[in-house]
């Protein structure tokens, strides 16, 4: 192994063990790697790569979708989606667990953020479920895992990042469409586990609503759900790009939260914009430093070496996809989704393309793997936010969340080896 690669891996691991923030860990290890390469101005190269890495029109969609998600989180939309989900699935045994999952799917799809789903939906649902006799750690486990469905059901920021990482091979619209069915399957898998557990532990008898109550709750929840139709319909219809759609999403969320539901006041807007700016800065720094690390890896021909190594093990797509799944599950435990996608897409994409695997399908496989990672220690953002919302600890949650992990892995394997689940909608719309 070359010295620069040893420096890269060793410095990155040491920095992570020292609890250095992931963006700084990536940036510092990249600088040290370029020093090890020699004959290249390290600081100038990294600074230039960070600047050019975020100089993309497509990335403008990320701050807009973040802002739209924060407006929805403050605008009472989660509560209205909970009421609607309760009408649909609340009547069954363990109904509130289904409501929690379905609401996370709906809210996550609207906000494009798993963390927003955990905090907004969990903040309402976990106390309600606790009062109805559901175990607090079980409730937190449901919310943490179900929140990841919002990263598969569009619009999703990580899908935009994946499109960027492929160099435009995969369009944003195509990867958006590909995520619908896998995202729904993950939600159904989680419902199977929660239903089995609810029946075994005798959780919740379910609540029935009259036709009038159901109609009212549906009509109240209809405006926020229309956002997905507006965004995807506009993109697929050719009325606007994904970036323009994100700006329209902000306008729609603003009107809904401020003027329709009136839960966001004009005086709240500066604070919301500040929070959006802080979140955007973190995401963009992650993207910039990840692009710098990708440059260093490409300079050392690491993608080509790994590609040759994997294909040397086997040329069977089933075996290679299984190996890549295992590697990505490991990566997801210690790396955030955005840098993981930017760093490992250029490494694994050439391999799967040589085996005839569609890049759209592979994108969904990668995102599903990393969705599991954000629910696992030591770096799982959803796990830590969920523990905070439920006022519990990782140690107490782990026995409850393992079955949900198993369900997500089973769905991952199904989607991995049945590409039609990812490709049927993109192919129908001509991608």
Asked whether residue 14 is domain-assigned, the answer is: no
pLDDT of residue 271: 92
CA-nearest of 367, 399, 309, 416 to 114 is 367
How many degrees, rounded to 5, is the angle at CA 50 between CA 45 and CA 54?
Answer: 145
* Rounded distance between C-alpha atoms, residue 41 and residue 231, angstroms: 43
> Residue 391 — φ and ψ, nearest 5°?
55, 50
Residue 6 belongs to some domain of the structure: no
Residue 168 pLDDT: 80
Question: What's the rounded Cα separation, in Å, for the pair 196 and 334?
Answer: 31
Q: Tell me whether residue 32 is in a domain.
A: no
* Residue 236 near residue 254, CB atoms below 8 Å: no
CA 283 → CA 23, 47, 60, 276, 279, distances in Å?
9, 16, 12, 11, 6
Query: What does the angle CA 146 – CA 148 – CA 154 come to, to the nearest 5 degrees?
Result: 115
Helix (H) or strand (E) holding 62: helix 61-74
Parts of the chain with a pLDDT under 50: none
Residue 289 belongs to domain spanning: 41-428
Q: Is the peptide bond before 293 cis (omega within 30 degrees of 0)?
A: no
| 276 Cβ contact list (under 8 Å, min separation 6) | 63, 66, 67, 70
Identify which of 33, 14, 72, 4 has the alpha carbon closest to the alpha carbon of residue 249. Answer: 72
Q: How many domains does the chain have?
A: 1
- Does 86 reside within a domain? yes
Cβ density class 214-238: b for 16+ within 10 Å, e for less: beebeebbeebbebbeebbebbeee
DSSP for residue 41: -
Is residue 179 a part of any domain in this protein?
A: yes
Report CA 69 to chain centroid distance, whole Å: 13
How distant is the alpha carbon of residue 368 from its chain centre?
Answer: 8
* Cβ atoms of residues 331 and 68 within 8 Å: no
Assigned domain for 22 exists = no
pLDDT at site 131: 84
pLDDT at 75: 81
Q: What digits encode the pLDDT tens for the residues 45-96?
A: 888 888 888 888 878 888 888 888 888 878 877 778 878 887 877 777 778 8
Cis omega (within 30 of 0) for bond into 378: yes
Residue 350 within a domain? yes
Question: What's residue 95's pLDDT?
Answer: 82
Residue 134 in any domain: the answer is yes
Closest CA to 303 of 356, 361, 345, 331: 345
């Amino acid at each position: 192994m070359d010295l620069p690669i040893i420096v890269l891996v060793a410095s990155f691991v040491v920095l992570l063990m020292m609890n250095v923030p992931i963006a700084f860990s990536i940036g510092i290890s990249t600088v040290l790697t370029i020093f090890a390469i020699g004959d290249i101005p390290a600081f100038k190269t990294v600074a230039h790569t960070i600047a050019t890495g975020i100089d993309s029109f497509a990335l403008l969609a990320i701050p807009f979708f973040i802002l739209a998600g924060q407006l929805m989180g403050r605008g009472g939309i989660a509560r209205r989606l909970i009421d609607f989900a309760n009408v649909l699935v609340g009547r069954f045994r363990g109904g509130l667990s289904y409501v929690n999952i379905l609401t996370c799917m709906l809210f996550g799809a609207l906000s494009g953020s798993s963390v927003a789903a955990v905090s907004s939906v969990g903040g309402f649902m976990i106390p309600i479920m606790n009062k109805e006799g559901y175990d607090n750690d079980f409730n937190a486990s449901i919310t943490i895992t179900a929140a990841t469905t919002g990263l598969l059901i569009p619009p999703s920021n990580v899908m935009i990042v994946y499109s960027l990482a492929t160099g435009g091979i995969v369009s944003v619209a195509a990867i958006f469409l590909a995520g619908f069915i896998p995202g729904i399957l993950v939600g159904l898998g989680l419902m199977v586990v929660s239903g089995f557990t609810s029946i075994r532990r005798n959780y919740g008898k379910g609540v029935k609503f009259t036709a009038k109550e159901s109609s009212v709750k549906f009509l109240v929840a209809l405006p926020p759900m229309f956002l997905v139709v507006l965004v995807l319909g506009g993109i697929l219809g050719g009325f606007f790009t994904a970036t323009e759609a994100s700006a329209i999403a902000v306008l729609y969320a603003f009107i809904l939260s401020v003027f329709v539901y009136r839960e966001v006041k004009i005086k709240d807007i500066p604070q919301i914009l500040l929070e959006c700016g802080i979140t955007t800065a973190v995401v963009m720094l992650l993207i910039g430093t990840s692009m710098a690390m990708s440059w260093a890896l490409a300079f050392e021909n690491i993608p080509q070496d790994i590609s040759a190594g994997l294909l040397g093990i086997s040329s069977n797509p089933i075996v290679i996809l299984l190996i890549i799944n295992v590697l990505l599950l490991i990566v997801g435990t210690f790396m955030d989704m955005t840098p993981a996608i930017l760093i490992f897409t250029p490494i694994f994409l050439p391999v799967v393309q040589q085996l005839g695997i569609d890049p759209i399908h592979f994108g969904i496989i990668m995102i599903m793997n990393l969705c599991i990672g954000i629910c696992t220690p030591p770096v799982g953002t959803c796990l830590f936010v969920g523990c905070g919302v439920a006022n519990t600890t990782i140690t107490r949650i782990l026995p409850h969340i393992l079955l949900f992990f198993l369900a997500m892995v089973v769905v991952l394997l199904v989607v991995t080896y049945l590409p039609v689940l990812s490709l049927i909608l993109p192919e129908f719309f001509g991608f």
